Structure 1
């Protein structure tokens, strides 16, 4: 990437930041739009929050719906995907003996969410082991469908996994869940802005995604998407001004004239909505800078870095290329103290990157966004070679 593009971000120059996947990074123009909204709010809080907010919230819903292939009435703003998925998990009418089918690749916060729900309802979690390395849609789908039983009430899957950075081929599993009357709940935390996404075509009952990661909006902007047929199942986690006692009745409206789904979730008393209101500016930034081309360059750089590290370690990848997240790759490294490697990478090399143990794999997960460059990838490979006593052969290989 060019230095001019990197300067459009706020990342500190003394850090090689290779961890966009965790919290994202917001471009300067988008952050400026976000701060302008905050200043406008503070200039007249009653007008902004009391008289204009309902109309203001509609514009980002429309922008997200257009970008991600749905109707704005099916989208509600939440602060992050975890909160959106908690709304779903804590709303579904589960009972003792019901089963939640999921995989061994899920995000730990959501594993805890479902464990909490099971403790309250008596439902059970059933974990499917995904065939690894992931090289076949058929093998994945067979494993998921093979885990379904008459007791399965919920299918919970990541679209792009957090620990293993895999794109799960979930389409046929979702169709089978619909056929069997199983609610499908999808963790799309890493998906919007990362891979093409049409929510209506995908057909999940519930889908929550972050805007602050790969769409590069300010932190605290995410959405919950629900098909119209299942919106009535949902209750907000916080009961406030948007809720009405008639919210479950057919054709009911929320307190602010939207659907009960939208008003109940979005209108929850005093909070700063500026991050969500800045979403259209992030979408515009991506279009103005031809982000499709930039993302393709990032994909090449990410995949090439994973290939080069694989040549150094001799360890096979976790998947074939089509199932690897384009700009985020979980790269196996030799057995090591991952916490110490993570510490050394940051303290001695100023490289910010996740290093962790997942099942029997030690992993370095690299994220590549428009502010990253080939020299930064070289720096990572050199640092890992030194820390893990790898051969440096191949670190200068052309991509």
Structure 2
């Protein structure tokens, strides 16, 4: 079958067999926690076996070198300077490190968009309360074009007062690819530092982080790059590296960034050290082939489920690029709050044996569909067949 606007892409041979996911469930929410391929699970287990066989040897003989090697491997994959990057557990941890290191004070402000990931927004507001700074949010319609997004954010900047701009590379709640290159360029013209939350970017997008020019960028490798959960990379521009402070002081504090951030004593480093095995799986499947497959399958899922819900083309927000997540609005008045969205997610999982993300954003509920190489078109077809009746029964 040839993939096209109405046809799903052909499956990548053998890809589904790489995962230990429950075959009785349609896993259409890769974007939340990812899924670890079996070879990566085994690589991580070997590392855990190694530490448990001789903890003293594992922690005291060569572990720092292995962390540095892993960091270089991951940083090279995304076009980031390995000496200006640090392994962290997730994007939210990276955000907290950045917020602490910027050293906000009374009178400063941090500018967010209303697409900012919830935990990052909470971290911003906590740091603002602690320092006397102000958090301000600029609204960006889910249907805004790239020029409109840039214009809205640029107009909201207050040079001299805006101490940090926080913007997503790909938004979590709304699955939008943001024009980060243009946003970063506009902010730099106004001397406003930029933190890019790239939680979904590694593996999903081709990246050149150094060329992007953001002051700070963080991305998870456990979502779309097949790493074990708890693997992310924080990249910091040269002017900021001496000012980065870890959230917890360790024996590598005097070494400075990045080791002061990476070394946390007895943590489970197997998560990080197994991450290159995830990139090996991705490269074996073919990085470009995986990206193309996932983007085409997500578009197919949005089409068939959108058709089943009676949505026209104008009702289906476009992601702004070839991404592996798509968004559909739920009926008006449904799931306008987080508890309602979570209740519907659990109901769909229970009744339809389908894991999908339900979001409450902008005063309404949304269905976010992900696509990964283990997914099949018939999983979206079954959701399209059964979801309308389930939603109708709840209204």
Gaps of 5+ in 1: 245-253, 255-259, 391-399
1:277 aligns with 2:273: yes
Cα distance between partner residues in 1 of 2:81 and 2:158: 32
Cα distance between partner residues in 2 of 1:173 and 1:108: 21
Per-residue CA distance 1:265-297 (angstroms, 9 max, x = gap): 011211110111111111111111214213312
1:155 aligns with 2:165: yes
CA contact (8 A) 1:75 1:225 kept: yes
In the TM superposition, 1:214-225 aligns within 5 A as 214-225=224-235
In the TM superposition, 1:19-98 aligns within 5 A as 19-98=29-108
Cα distance between partner residues in 2 of 1:210 and 1:166: 17
Match of 1:381 in 2: 384
3-state SS of paired residue (2:360): strand
3-state SS of paired residue (2:196): strand
Cα distance between partner residues in 2 of 1:17 and 1:147: 39
Shift of 1:307: 2.0
Match of 1:250 in 2: none
Per-residue CA distance 1:65-120 (angstroms, 9 max, x = gap): 22111221011111111111110111212111111111000111011100101101
User: Which region of structure 1 is more displaced relative to structure 2, 211-220 or 349-358?
Assistant: 349-358
CA RMSD of aligned residues (A): 1.7
Length, aligned pairs only? 374
TM-score, structure 2 length as denominator? 0.91
Match of 1:141 in 2: 150
3-state SS of paired residue (2:253): coil
1:331 aligns with 2:341: no
User: Which region of structure 1 is more displaced relative to structure 2, 335-344 or 293-302?
Assistant: 335-344
Partner of residue 342 from structure 1, selected from 328, 338, 345: 345
Shift of 1:344: 2.5
Shift of 1:122: 0.9
Q: 1:214 to 1:167 in 2, by over 3 A?
A: same
TM-score, structure 1 length as denominator? 0.90
Cα distance between partner residues in 2 of 1:199 and 1:365: 27
Match of 2:285 in 1: 289
Match of 2:371 in 1: 368
CA contact (8 A) 1:303 1:329 kept: yes
Per-residue CA distance 1:112-131 (angstroms, 9 max, x = gap): 10010110111111111113
Per-residue CA distance 1:224-258 (angstroms, 9 max, x = gap): 110121111211000110102xxxxxxxxx1xxxx
Shift of 1:2: 5.8
Shift of 1:324: 5.1
